[in-house]
C-alpha cells in the first residue's frame, strides 16, 4: 500500500506546544476534577489513504500530532488522553494490490481497515471516552461512526446523531460514484444505501459480531454543514430521504449561529453526537492542504462556532478530523500545510472545550 512514499515536507509549527505531553495507553493527567470538556479522550491516529487516490493524506495524523495537537489537549486543556503512540496504517492487514470491484476502488482494503478501526474506536468508546480519530481520508468514518454508534447503543441505549461538516456530501453509492473512490461513499455505507452482504466488503457493518444493527446511521439523525460540491445523484438522495443539509449558501444566508442552533434542536438535546469534520469544509484559502478543495468554504469563525457549539452540548461522543494532506499545496516553506494543520488543531481544541468565543459574542 502506498504509504509514506513521498517525503513529508518540513512543516513549521505555528503554535508552540507547552511541554511534551504525557500520553500513554493509561496515561494520567493529575486532575480528576477537570474544569471543562470531557475528562477522558481516546485518540486514534489513522494514516490511511486507500479511500482516494492521492498520496499524502496518510501523513495527516503524523503532521498534526507533530505540530503539537496532543500537547494542546493534554496540557493546554487538561484533558486526559488515551493514545497508543502509533499511526495505524493497517498495512499488514490489507492487500497491496486489488482490482476495482462493483465500481469501488480498493473495497477490500477500505473494508478491512475500517473494520479494524471500528473495533479500536469501540474499545475506547465503551470505556466512556470520547473518541477523537485523526485521519486519513474520509473513508475512515465508516469505522469511527460504526464503532462509536455501537458503543453508544450499548452504553446509553441511544442512537447517535452525526454532524458532517464537509464541502462534499460523501453519500455516493458505488453505483452513483463517478470516481469509485470510497471516501465519497462513507455515509452510503453507514446508512445502508449501498448493498453489502456478509462476506463481501463492508458486510461486517451488518454482522451480529459488530453490534448487528443496520443502518448504523439513521439519515434522520444526520446533518450536513458546509456543502458546496454535491453531485446530482447525491442531491437526489438528500431530497429522497429528507436529510437535513445546510449548504455554504445556507450558512451565508442564515448565519452560522442560526444554523447551529437549528442543527442542535433538530438533533435533540439529549442525543449523543459524532462530529465528522472534513478539513475541506474550510475555505481553501485557509486550509489549502487537502485533496479535493472547493472554493467558497467556511471561515474559521464559522468552523470554531460549530466545534464550540457541539462541545457545549456535552453530548459529543466522537470526532473525526480528516483529509489533511500535507503534500497538497504545502506552500512556500511548508506554510500552507502549517496553516491547514493550525486550523485543524484549533477546530479540535474548540470541540474539546477551548472557548475563544465568549457567549456574548454569539447568539445560541
Please state, as a whole number, how many other Cβ atoms lie within 10 Å of the Cβ of residue 154.
Answer: 12
Q: How far is the CB of 298 from Mn ion (least distance, A)?
A: 13
Residue 183 catalytic? yes
* Shortest spacing between CB 138 and Mn ion, in angstroms: 4
Residue 170 is among the residues annotated as catalytic for this protein: yes
Of 183, 210, 274, 350, which residue is the catalytic one?
183
* Active-site entry in 229, 283, 323, 328: 323
Alpha helices in the chain (DSSP H): 60-66, 69-71, 107-125, 141-156, 186-190, 232-240, 248-254, 256-267, 300-312, 335-351
304, 356 in Cβ contact below 8 A? yes
**What counts of helices (H) and strands (E) characterise the chain?**
10, 8
* Candidate list 71, 72, 137, 166, residue with the active-site label: 166
323 as an active site residue: the answer is yes
Name the β-bridge partners of 273.
Answer: 161, 316
Closest CA to 351 of 302, 303, 317, 310: 310
Q: Considering beta carbons, is residue 71 or 170 the nearer one to Mn ion?
A: 170
User: Whose Cβ is closer to Mn ion: residue 77's or residue 113's?
Assistant: 113
Smallest gap from residue 227 Cβ to Mn ion (A): 10
Nearest approach, Cβ of 327 to Mn ion (angstroms)? 18
In the complex, the smallest distance separating the C-beta of residue 278 from Mn ion, rounded to whole angstroms, is 4
Q: Is the CB of 84 or the CB of 329 nearer to Mn ion?
A: 329
- Cβ proximity of 298 and 346 under 8 Å: no
Distance CA 49, CA 29 (A): 32
Active site residue 168: yes
Residues within the interface to Mn ion (CB under 5 A): 138, 166, 170, 278
The single residue of 71, 72, 137, 170 carrying the catalytic annotation is 170
Looking at beta carbons only, is 70 or 194 nearer to Mn ion?
A: 194
- Provide the minimum distance between the beta carbon of 209 and Mn ion in the complex, in angstroms, as a whole number: 28
Nearer to Mn ion, 72 or 170 (CB): 170
> Look-up: residue for cell 478530523?
321
Per the DSSP assignment, residues forming a β-bridge with 88 are 46
Sheet holding 161-165, edge to edge: 80-88, 40-46, 130-134, 316-322, 273-278, 161-165, 222-227, 244-247
Q: Of 71, 229, 234, 280, which is the active-site residue?
A: 280
Nearest CA to 136 out of 52, 7, 46, 5 is that of 46
Rank residues 129 and 228 by Cβ distance to Mn ion and give the closer one: 228
Query: What are the two backbone dihedrals, phi and then psi, of residue 335, each rounded to the nearest 5 degrees?
Result: -70, -30
Angle between helices 107-125 and 141-156 (to 10 degrees): 30
Please confirm, yes or no, whether 83 is among the known catalytic residues: no
Does the active-site annotation cover 138?
Answer: yes
- Residues labelled as active-site residues: 138, 166, 168, 170, 183, 278, 280, 323
Amino acid at each position: 500500500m502506498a504509504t509514506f512514499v513521498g517525503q513529508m515536507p518540513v512543516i513549521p509549527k505555528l503554535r508552540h506546544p507547552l511541554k511534551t505531553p504525557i500520553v500513554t495507553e493509561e496515561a494520567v493527567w493529575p486532575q480528576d476534577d477537570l474544569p471543562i470538556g470531557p475528562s477522558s479522550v481516546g485518540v486514534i491516529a489513522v494514516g490511511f489513504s486507500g479511500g482516494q487516490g492521492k498520496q499524502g493524506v496518510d501523513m495527516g495524523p503524523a503532521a498534526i500530532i507533530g505540530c503539537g495537537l496532543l500537547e494542546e489537549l493534554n496540557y493546554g486543556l487538561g484533558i486526559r488522553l488515551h493514545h497508543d503512540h502509533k499511526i495505524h496504517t493497517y498495512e499488514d492487514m490489507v492487500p497491496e494490490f486489488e482490482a476495482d470491484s462493483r465500481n469501488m476502488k480498493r473495497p477490500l482494503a477500505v473494508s478491512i481497515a475500517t473494520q479494524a478501526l471500528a473495533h479500536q474506536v469501540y474499545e475506547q468508546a465503551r470505556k466512556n471516552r470520547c473518541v477523537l480519530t485523526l485521519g486519513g481520508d474520509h473513508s475512515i468514518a465508516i469505522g469511527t461512526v460504526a464503532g462509536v454508534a455501537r458503543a453508544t447503543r450499548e452504553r446509553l441505549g441511544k442512537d447517535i446523531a452525526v454532524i458532517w461538516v464537509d464541502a462534499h456530501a460523501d453519500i455516493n453509492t458505488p453505483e452513483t460514484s463517478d470516481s469509485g473512490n470510497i471516501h465519497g461513499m462513507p455515509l452510503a455505507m453507514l446508512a445502508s444505501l449501498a448493498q453489502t452482504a456478509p462476506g463481501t466488503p463492508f458486510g461486517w457493518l451488518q454482522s451480529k459480531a459488530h453490534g448487528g444493527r443496520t443502518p448504523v446511521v439513521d439519515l434522520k439523525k444526520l446533518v450536513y454543514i458546509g456543502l458546496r460540491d454535491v453531485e446530482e445523484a447525491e442531491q437526489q438522495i438528500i431530497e429522497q430521504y429528507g436529510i437535513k443539509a445546510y449548504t455554504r449558501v445556507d450558512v451565508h444566508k442564515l448565519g452560522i449561529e442560526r444554523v447551529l442552533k437549528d442543527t442542535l434542536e433538530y438533533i435533540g438535546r439529549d442525543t449523543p453526537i459524532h462530529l465528522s469534520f472534513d478539513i475541506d469544509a474550510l475555505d481553501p484559502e485557509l486550509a489549502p492542504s487537502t485533496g479535493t478543495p472547493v472554493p467558497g468554504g467556511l471561515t474559521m469563525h464559522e468552523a470554531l462556532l460549530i466545534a464550540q457549539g457541539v462541545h457545549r452540548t456535552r453530548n459529543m461522543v466522537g470526532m473525526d478530523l480528516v483529509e489533511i494532506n500535507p503534500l497538497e499545496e504545502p506552500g512556500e516553506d511548508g506554510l500552507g500545510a502549517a496553516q491547514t494543520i493550525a486550523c485543524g488543531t484549533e477546530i479540535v481544541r474548540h470541540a474539546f472545550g477551548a472557548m475563544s468565543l465568549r457567549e456574548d459574542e454569539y447568539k445560541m
